[in-house]
Chain A
Amino acid sequence: MTANAQTQVERMLALVPYLRDREGIPLDQVAKDFKVKPAQIVKDLNVLWFCGLPDAMPGDMIDIDMDALDGDGVVRLSNADYLNRPLRLAPHEALALAVALRALREASGEQEREAVDRTLAKLEQAAGEPVASAAVIDVHIDPVDPQIRAAVDLALRENRRMHLRYYVPGRDETTERDVDPMRLVFSEGHAYLEAWCNRVQEGRFFRLDRMTAAEVLDESASPPANARRKDLSGGLFQPAADDPLAVLELDPAASWVAEYYPIEERTDLADGRVRVALRFRDEQWLQRLVLRLGGAATVVEPTEVADAVRARAQEALANYSGS
């Protein structure tokens, strides 16, 4: 968190009414709610201690019980009756919140949608005009088969194991597996179930529109104790460091690959071509990507993949010869 004065004033304008309402709250709790270190809150309090009414005499300043702060680690603030409400939402804050709620609305199942709508309505009322301008951002999530969605919602709500028929596009293969659902994540326009897969004994993301069947079993979900929800801050699909590396050269027509997949290295070549390095877990996936790019991409490494994909194209062409 940067320590510039604007940020500090912004925080203090919320901190004063917050503390007025919570006499004797532990410093650690305050820091947690404001997402800063306790030392930062102490700095804020030391500034507030010098703030007060115009022409303030010492007794007119905001009062902070420094003994309670030093001794018991709790915050007591008084003599700030004129700051009993926080500043209203700035337009960009109201907009960011409203769009987040809209995304949540798009992602919600039938059961939660009503609560999201009520919240949005109240927020709009409190924020006033700025949220009206939230019409300038919209988030659309592709709809999925309502039966599949209902099954996933039920399994999550009741913490039950599921049996999935799941299509793996990289291998063009439909698989059967039992999974223990953990949460439903929406990213880049698609819904994914994060679940512990009992077949591969790993946490995986399953795209809902690739489930051909989803059955909620009677057994309860019991992911192993070491099953962790993936940290999504780096995106849903982060290649593992030990996945093999492929080097591709892309024509301009295939340059979308460099923005669509996580790229490790990128070199600009002549004529708008680029050379990229990306990690792949599944060679089938890489082969299918190159076939799809129809000559706009060349596999430089690994050479075995280059050979295999060339052979696959020749084999496919044989289907068309003589007809």
Chain B
Amino acid sequence: MIARKSERLMNLTICLLVARHFVPKHRIRQAVEGYHDLSDDAFDRMFDRDKEELRLLGVPIELGAINKAFEDEPGYRVRRDKFELPEIRLEADEAAVVGLAARVWQHASLAAATSQGLRKLRAAGVPVDESALTILEPQLAANEPAFDPVFDAVTQRRPIEFDYRTRGAGEPARRHVEPWGIVSWHGHWYLIGHDRDREAARMFRLSRIEGTVSAGEPGGFEPPTNLDLRALASSLAPPQPHSSATVRVRSGAGDLLRRRATTSREAVDGWTEITLPYGDEAALADELASFGSDVVVTAPDEVRAGVVRRLAAVAAEVAP
């Protein structure tokens, strides 16, 4: 019966919150409706479960020694200063910002956590306007199955292991990682952490984690102090441009390439020859192949050969 249980949990919370001293268990049993008619064992079990559920909600239940007058049975209490949301006053524009924050998460459990946080702020008298029609809407989705287990492992500092598929490689490989943090980088979620096998910091795309993520004990590692995820992401992310390619672009085509070009000169028949900086040879060849006959690679040979190989593979393709 949900109502009975809710009532008992509320009364237990109030009982511990208004107490000036630690309350012994037998007093709680007398004072809180719902514990009266149980056997000793049944009461013990129910009380333990109730305490645990309240702790999960964030109710800070403390266990401590009661003064001598109550024998030496331990008692329980909730300290008001640790229970209550501290004072928070928001200006009108700040309240609008909080209202916007309510729409950011597209991920079920984080959206629910945000809503619950906002209810508390509203209950504390903070005006939160969620209905305003806004012109700015950042969205954070997290559809990767690995997001939730990795998120929990990060917040609880549990080391994890999982199967990871690198781009292009066939079989996934087992990785052992101390998860420091999660970062959304170029629109994808990545785990950043210490790779125990490679003994170095590594970045893992969550969408390439396969199967279940197994987690170790909470507090199983120490993240570095002054963790700077953004700096780590930019140093671990795919390579920055270090080479350049020369390509010819047909008149009217490839505007996106022209915008990235470092040099550009007119060639014959309305073609333009441009220089493109690049970091990842395969990624550039993929992109240039997509332009078909509107782009021709002049140099270097590796990129040129890469594009020719791709085009030849498509040209030779026979429907199955």
Contacts and interface: CB of A to CB of B under 8 A. Distances in A.
Given A290-B314, A315-B292, A97 B101 contact: yes
A123 B274 CA distance: 50
B69 to A, nearest CB: 18
Interface stretch (A106-114, A196-204, A238-246): A106-114
B94 A118 contact: yes
Contacts of A4: 2
Contact of A189 (B88, B101, B187): B187
A317 B311 contact: yes
Q: In which size bucket is the chain B interface? A: 35 or more
B106 A303 contact: no
B110 A319 contact: no
At the interface, is chain A mostly helix, strand, loop or mixed?
Answer: helix
Contact of A188 (B134, B136, B170, B188): B188
B211 interface: no
Contact of A14 (B96, B98, B120, B294): B120
B8 to A, nearest CB: 9
A33 B128 CA distance: 9
A118 B312 contact: no
A122 B119 CA distance: 17
Nearest to B81: A88
B285 A93 contact: no
A82 B117 contact: no
Interface in B144-197: 151, 154-155, 167-168, 170, 180-188
Contacts of A141: 138
Contact of A303 (B105, B256, B319): B319
A167 B257 CA distance: 11
Contacts of B316: 295
At the interface, is chain B mostly helix, strand, loop or mixed?
Answer: helix
A172 B257 CA distance: 10
Given A92-B113, A126-B85, A184-B136, A189 B184 contact: yes
A15 B97 contact: no
Contacts of B11: 51-52, 54, 56
Interface string A78-117: 0000110111111111111101110110111100100110
A103 B140 contact: yes
Interface in B239-286: 253-256, 259, 285-286
A274 interface: no
B135 A314 contact: no
Nearest to B237: A140
Contacts of B294: 172
B85 A47 contact: no
Given A187-B139, A288-B290, A298-B320, A18 B18 contact: no
A24 interface: no
A4 B289 CA distance: 56
A87 B84 contact: yes
Given A115-B91, A298-B319, 5 more contacts: A10-B57, A99-B110, A140-B185, A184-B137, A291-B289
List the 8 closest A-B pairs by CB distance, nearest first. A295-B313, A189-B187, A294-B310, A54-B31, A188-B187, A93-B117, A90-B58, A100-B104
11 contacts: A5-B5, A6-B9, A11-B119, A13-B13, A33-B119, A48-B10, A88-B82, A100-B104, A122-B94, A183-B136, A316-B292
Interface of A: 3-6, 8-18, 21, 33-35, 43, 46-48, 50-56, 82-83, 85-97, 99-101, 103-104, 106-109, 112, 115-116, 118-119, 122-123, 125-126, 128, 133, 135-142, 156-157, 167, 169, 172, 174, 181-190, 210, 212, 232-233, 235, 249, 252-253, 256, 259, 272, 287-296, 298-300, 303, 306, 309-310, 312-320
